[in-house]
Structure formats: structure tokens, C-alpha cells
Amino acid sequence: MTQAAPGRTADEVDPRPVVRHERLHAGRVFDLVRDDVDLGAAGTVTREYLDHPGAVAIVALDDADRVLLLRQYRHPVRGFLWEVPAGLLDVDGEHPQAAAARELAEEADLTAARWDVLVDFATSPGASNESLRVFLARDLGRVPEHERHVRTGEEADMVERWVPLEEAVALVLDGSLHNPSAVVGILAAAASRAGGWASLRPVDAPWPYRRGALPA
């Protein structure tokens, strides 16, 4: 195993040359692609992965430090998961914070006057290029009833529950919650609050692993 050079411990965008790219399947949300990647001395390897538009999620925190969780059916895991509001970055040119505000309104009938970047993560970097940004939304309000989104499919019967942040952390740690956006977002919110919210970043903070920001 090669030792890393001394310096800051941080992920680094440093793409290896792709000598061949092929789309194996065009899906409704994401594609399955295959790349032949030149790793230099290690040779050329073939990797198949999901080419994903990316997504945003929202930890909505009310004045009592309760986080909003939504119960939604997820067919791939054949069950109902408690999640934070989230959605795809599938509108061309839409700013991630605007996408988050749209998803919060559509899924939870909520608005927020205060937005911050809480945490970013790659959902499954060995199998997908999906990058997800979790926003912290505060100073919440309700979308007027006549402007509310009509939810369909799995979203039609979502149940909402407001859970104290400390209780939500306990639910993550005892194995009750499994949705990655909820797990990462809840733990990040608890850690940031413990530090006086000093870790929060502005909504325009760099996001190097978002698909549009990565080299082709």
C-alpha cells in the first residue's frame, strides 16, 4: 500500500484518462455506462457504473430543533423508510438550493427563509457518480394551500413526523433509520449544532463532485 504524501486530508478530483466510453443502457433517471480507464502503471481497467444527475436533500429544522422525517415506500429495498425531503437535480440550469426549495415545497408543503449547506457526500462512489448535497433549512413556513403540489406515486401517501434532533440521532445509531440522506444529514446537523453551527457553508459553496463540475 502506498503512503499518502503529508498534507491536508481531503478528497481530490484527479481523473484518470478514459480511453473508451460506452452507454450500456439509457434509463429514465440514470444510465448504465462502461469506461475503460488508464491507471498508468496499474494498467487499463474496465468499470461499469450508474451515470446519475445528482440530488439534493433537506434537513428541515423547526424552532424547537425538531427535524422533519417523511415515510415513503422504496421498492428496491421493499419497504417504507423514514427520510428527509430530497429530490433529483433533473431540471436543466436549476441552482441546487432552488432545487432544494422546490423539493421541500413539493414533498412537505414547507418554505424556509434560511438556507445553508450542511454536508456533501457521494452516495456509492464505487458504483455511481451520484453526488448529493444536504441543505439545512430553517425559519420554516407553510406553502399556501392553493399553491400546494399534488403528490403522486409513492409520494401520494407519505406520512410526516417531527422528531427532536437528539431522538433522530438515536434512531440512526440504533439501526432504526437507513436512508443515507437522513443518516448523513441528521448526524451532520447534530455535529454542526454542537459546534455552534460554525461548520455551515453558504449555498454557493464549491461542490466539486457534482456531475456537471467533473471533467467529462
**pLDDT digit string, tens, across residues 35-45:** 999 999 999 99
- The rounded distance, in Å, linking the Cα atoms of 84 and 95 is 19
Beta carbons of 110 and 68 less than 8 angstroms apart? yes
* pLDDT greater than 80 at residue 126: yes
Note the helical H segments in the chain. 96-108, 165-173, 180-194
Tell whether pTM > 0.85: yes
What is the phi/psi pair of residue 125, to 5°? -65, -15
- The average pLDDT across 167-187 equals 98
Catalytic residue list: 155
On the question of pLDDT at 146 being above 90, the answer is no
Give the model's pLDDT for residue 158: 86
Q: Write the single-letter amino acid at 99.
A: A
pLDDT by residue (tens digit) across 62-76?
999 999 999 999 999
Where do the domains of the chain lie, and which CATH numbers do they carry? Answer: 18-51 (no CATH), 55-205 (3.90.79.10)
Mind giving me the DSSP string for 106-169?
HHHSEEEEEEEEEEEEES-TTTB--EEEEEEEEEEEEPPGGG-----GGGTT-EEEEEEHHHHH
Q: What is the mean pLDDT of the chain?
A: 93
Q: What is the C-alpha to C-alpha distance for residues 139 and 152, in angstroms, rounded to an integer? A: 27
What is the pLDDT confidence band of residue 7, given thresholds at 50, 70 and 90? confident
Angle, alpha carbons 99-102-107 (nearest 5°): 120
pLDDT of residue 156: 65
Query: For residue 216, what pLDDT is reported?
Result: 66
As given in the structure block, the three cell numbers for residue 67 are 427535524
Residues 126 and 128: their CA atoms lie apart, in Å, by: 6
Q: What is the pLDDT of residues 194-210, one digit of tens each?
A: 999 999 999 999 999 99
Q: What is the mean pLDDT of residues 79-90?
A: 96
Question: Sheet harboring 66-74: ordered strands across?
Answer: 79-83, 66-74, 159-164
Q: What count of Cα atoms within 13 Å lies in the side-chain half-sphere of residue 171?
A: 20
- In sign, the C-alpha dihedral spanning 201, 202, 203, 204 is negative
Q: Residue 155 above 80 pLDDT? A: no
The pLDDT score that the predictor gives to residue 129 is: 95
